[in-house]
Structure 1
Amino acid sequence: MYATAWFCDGEAPSQAPPIPVPRVVERGADDTAAWLVTEAVPGVAAAEEWPEHQRFAVVEAMAELARALHELPVEDCPFDRRLDAAVAEARRNVAEGLWTSTTCSRDLGVDVGAAGP
């Protein structure tokens, strides 16, 4: 699968960049949010501690992935994560009671009390 494949029912279009991605299990949207659920992919997380002789190759692979992702056209992306959109979404969630000190603590492991006033 390729990064633009979810628009093509899993078939990589001929113009798709060669960026493998996990298979999309479900995607959808409602009046307040959009979501994308993918399969887990095999491998070792880049955040893991790598043996010293592999570290340079891991960094190069991650840099190449970042370069390839940054070259993708953003016009077709179904998600808007620009700062102004993310802040507006966060404000709506707080106003609607979706994010409280309890949900932040439970869902994100955030100690809201330690964050200060």
Structure 2
Amino acid sequence: MDVPSVVAALAGGDTITPVWCNELGGLTFRLEGEAVRYVKWVAAGTPEIDLHAEAERLAWARQWVTVPRVIEHGADDECAWLVTAGIPARSAVDPRWVAEPVTAAAAIGRGLRLLHDTLPVERCPFEWSVEGRLPRADERIADGEGPADWSPEHRHLDLAKARERLGDPPAIDKLVVCHGDACAPNTLVRDDGAFAAHVDLGSLGVADRWADLAVAAWSLEWNFGTGYDGGLYEAYGIAPDPVRIAYYRLLWDMA
């Protein structure tokens, strides 16, 4: 693939390996030289990806939990970028862990519990509340998005009724500092199967813990197949809550 010029400049003489491309066109590259670094790159005019906000959240969370260290970040008229130090671990969707989904699911559950128990809600300057996310749902509806753009589980729903459902969230179970994108790829796992770290914290903020849990367990189906969510809940130390799971998955789809 073509390497963006800013990534090539940041690499210098390091080996550049593309490792990820998200649905919005954001790219991640591994730079290997004396040390391992990662560069996230996104074209200008992609409001869904705010690398400056991610840098702020990483720096804040790093005071208490293991997340990538920010080396630098910046932006120009064409793009934005974020450079972080590597962590010696593999993504939970690395082929090693796709072959051992039970271990991966447990590591994700333990890692999420550690994050929720450790980050101080009262000191967090960021939020990821239902109220804060609903305007994005309305923007997407105004842009013409609807059931055809949602996950298969929700495509049978009526748009107006689904939006009405979002306006009646379940009571807060427990406020925590949520990851904000707790899908399986964003957990790093050590070679012994233990949780190592979290990445991609661009939406980190205070919310009900089920905002993370519902999506983390859902993502196991996307990456490993069905039947592994129970291991995640068990490792986290919680029983599934069908009402909150259904609500926060619909919110994820629409917002």
| Range into which the TM-score falls when normalised by the shorter chain | 0.3 to 0.5
TM-score between both structures, scaled by the size of structure 1 = 0.45
TM-score between both structures, scaled by the size of structure 2 = 0.25
- Structure that is richer in strand per residue: 2
